[in-house]
Structure 1
Amino acid sequence: MAEQQPGFSLTPEQVEQFHRDGFIGPFDLYEPEEMEQNLRALRPKLLNTKRAVYGQGKGISGVTNLANYDRHLDVEFLARHIARPEIVDRVASILGPDVLCWRSEFFPKYPGDEGTDWHQADNFANVAGSKQPQIEWPNDAEFGGTITVWTAFTPAPVEMGCLQFIPGTHDVMNYDESKTMVYDQSSINATEKAGVRRGFFGYDYRALQKDPGWAPDESAAVSQVMRQGQFIIFWSTLMHASHPHSGLTDQMRLGYAARYLPTSVRVYPYSDELEEFGGSASLEQFGNVLVSGTDTFGHNRYTAETVDGFRFPVPAPGGVS
């Protein structure tokens, strides 16, 4: 893979800001007209899940559809998106030069949808049916998390459900991901928390709190308004949520989250299936994507797929799915 160019790397001051706040951005990536054109071309491809790595998933429930996870592995635009130097250079400024992308997800919010609960994600066992960690940092780190790059594929103002962060909360986990949440479909769009309609795809994220009496300090929250085509970078361990969609417009809000790790982190170390929110699908066709540097560890597998003529780089030491 070509040597990383420093053109989009974070400055030392920006890196310091990120480590203090747990997030940075937004940054411009696409012009709104360009993103809208890309989105129009993308929609029919997303409807065709024949090549999706989880297209044969079973037991999928609620609003989460595993068939639309990791679509960067079969849709060229998304494959190129996760490897854009505007994103990768900045992520590598935080994680170091050797970086993989292990997951991508769409987050739609339709008119009238509730906001998303305040939450943190460390090893992502909280939504796994097996309760096994989906990522494992080396040396038995207390917690690690992942870098999330959230791109606004549509406008994301407050009234359409933009993200919210509580700065500086990424260093202390307030939730225990080994606890269990109970799915309740009737709670969707029907529950108020601190006066705001919030939920977590049919679950109540408060069930994972280490201290049942604790509540996040929402007075410290900041709203991340983003124009179409911008992206923001944050630790998954940062306290984050989203506003409800007010329904004042009939346009959905669509975010696309790509998740990045240093190559030292193990991905799905104990699982042959992806299990989330009542759905499951085989990981047989899954592979990480090396987006920067090299992998000297060799404990993760990588995809060798060519997506519409775009071939992912394959690290020499590591395995290939």
Structure 2
Amino acid sequence: MELTSGIRDFALTPDELSGFHARGYYGPFKVYEVDEMRRAWRGERLRLMDREYAVYRSEAAESGNTNIANYDRHLDSAYLADHITQRRITDRVTSVLGPDVLCWRTEFFPKYPGDEGTDWHQADTFANASGTPQILWPDGAEEFGGTITVWTAFTEANEETGCLQFIPGTHQSMFYDETKRMHYDPSSINRKEKDGVRRGFFGYDYRQLQKDPDWTPDESQAVSMVMRPGEAVMFWSTLMHASLPHAGNVPEARMGFAARYVPTSVRVYPDTEEIEEYGGRVSLERHGSVLVSGEEKYSHNRLVDRTTRGHRFVSN
């Protein structure tokens, strides 16, 4: 399967690419106008309530009792399918990853008034919750790891509503061991403070994965990603990142949508038949990655057509 890439109108300049490699992130940058995003989200959030074609159909996902219910709605939403292939996004992603790129997962990240922030974390293989790697780079690519995440603000994301925070340059070293296991305790959500800030990790304590239990991230270096609706930021998942709590001063929830990209050479959910996270378990039977740029030259990942209402799988 091949997509025609054409001229990359939104590719990173050499200076932007150099800055991305040094800091681990690029942006924020505009994907949609503010009014355009607000109008689109008003309609789409209602359509997403219909889960008839959602890929994860387990009781846990249907009930919304697990964050997995927020995964991969681009596989049943035409709007989100268009979003993950938006040239303002994919041109920038291919500047880093090369021409042949898959979107292997998307996630919604809501933060409602009064919600805690998300604790500092890094993700390389995404084995942090289940102990099972979800992506594996090929041999010989040891200098790479993780995924490129493009996090788009569907609503206002600021220090009052719980915007992202990064510690620049931390993508060069992993401070966590994803082969360890975290204890899932949903009763801890919105119940704890860490260093004076209400932070958690969806019922986990990410500090249980620290290589050095006495290490603490240098929050004095943290930068806040304040974004208007329709803006996005691109970053390595191995970059130390977190989010602030929603202070509750405004009634609107903060909604972010994260699309995750890897080169086609990366194996997605290798030797895995289900996702086990956040107290839930769902089958990957209906999951497939989406080719967003270039050509798929490998046979280790199942692909799904981007117009996937009904989930039409395509051969490699």
Shorter-chain TM band? over 0.9
Question: In structure 2, what is the Cα distance between the partners aligned to 1:252 and 1:172?
Answer: 33
- Which residue in the other structure is 1:297 paired with? 298
| CA apart distance, 1:41 | 1.0
Question: In structure 2, what is the Cα distance between the partners aligned to 1:17 and 1:39?
Answer: 31
- Which residue in the other structure is 2:30 paired with? 28
Question: In structure 2, what is the Cα distance between the partners aligned to 1:3 and 1:184?
Answer: 45
Q: List per-residue Cα deviations over 1:256-315 (Å, max 9, x = no partner).
A: 000000000000012011111111111111110000000112211101363469x9995x
- Which residue in the other structure is 2:133 paired with? 133
Q: How does 1:207-222 map to 2 (within 5 A)?
A: 207-222=208-223
Moved more, 26-35 or 81-90: 26-35
Work out whether 1:171 is the aligned partner of 2:165. no
SS at match of 1:40: helix
Say if 1:141 and 1:305 are closer, same or farther in 2 by CA, change over 3 A.
closer
Question: In structure 2, what is the Cα distance between the partners aligned to 1:148 and 1:51?
Answer: 25
| CA apart distance, 1:141 | 4.7
Question: In structure 1, what is the Cα distance between the partners aligned to 2:18 and 2:125?
Answer: 24
Q: How does 1:157-306 map to 2 (within 5 A)?
A: 157-304=158-305, 306=307
Contact 2:70 2:108 in 1 (8 A): yes
| CA apart distance, 1:60 | 8.2
- Which residue in the other structure is 1:7 paired with? 9
Question: In structure 1, what is the Cα distance between the partners aligned to 2:22 and 2:97?
Answer: 15
Question: In structure 2, what is the Cα distance between the partners aligned to 1:186 and 1:287?
Answer: 33
- Which residue in the other structure is 1:118 paired with? 120
| CA apart distance, 1:32 | 1.2
Question: In structure 1, what is the Cα distance between the partners aligned to 2:140 and 2:193?
Answer: 37
Question: Structure 1: which 5+ runs fail to align?
Answer: none
Q: Percent identity?
A: 61
Say if 1:5 and 1:312 are closer, same or farther in 2 by CA, change over 3 A.
farther
Question: In structure 1, what is the Cα distance between the partners aligned to 2:135 and 2:146?
Answer: 8
Contact 1:66 1:279 in 2 (8 A): yes
SS at match of 1:290: strand
Say if 1:312 and 1:290 are closer, same or farther in 2 by CA, change over 3 A.
farther
Question: In structure 2, what is the Cα distance between the partners aligned to 1:31 and 1:305?
Answer: 24
Contact 2:58 2:281 in 1 (8 A): no
| CA apart distance, 1:45 | 1.6
Q: List per-residue Cα deviations over 1:19-47 (Å, max 9, x = no partner).
A: 00000001111111111111111112211
Question: In structure 2, what is the Cα distance between the partners aligned to 1:8 and 1:238?
Answer: 23
Question: In structure 1, what is the Cα distance between the partners aligned to 2:202 and 2:226?
Answer: 22
| CA apart distance, 1:63 | 6.1
Question: In structure 1, what is the Cα distance between the partners aligned to 2:207 and 2:161?
Answer: 24
Contact 2:53 2:309 in 1 (8 A): no
User: Given residue 89 of structure 2, which amino acid in structure 1 is its aligned partner?
Assistant: I
Question: In structure 2, what is the Cα distance between the partners aligned to 1:279 and 1:40?
Answer: 29
Query: Normalised by the size of structure 1, how large is the TM-score?
Result: 0.93
Say if 1:202 and 1:223 are closer, same or farther in 2 by CA, change over 3 A.
same
Contact 1:4 1:293 in 2 (8 A): no
Contact 2:75 2:309 in 1 (8 A): no
Say if 1:50 and 1:107 are closer, same or farther in 2 by CA, change over 3 A.
same
Contact 2:147 2:261 in 1 (8 A): yes
Say if 1:215 and 1:193 are closer, same or farther in 2 by CA, change over 3 A.
same
Contact 1:147 1:234 in 2 (8 A): yes
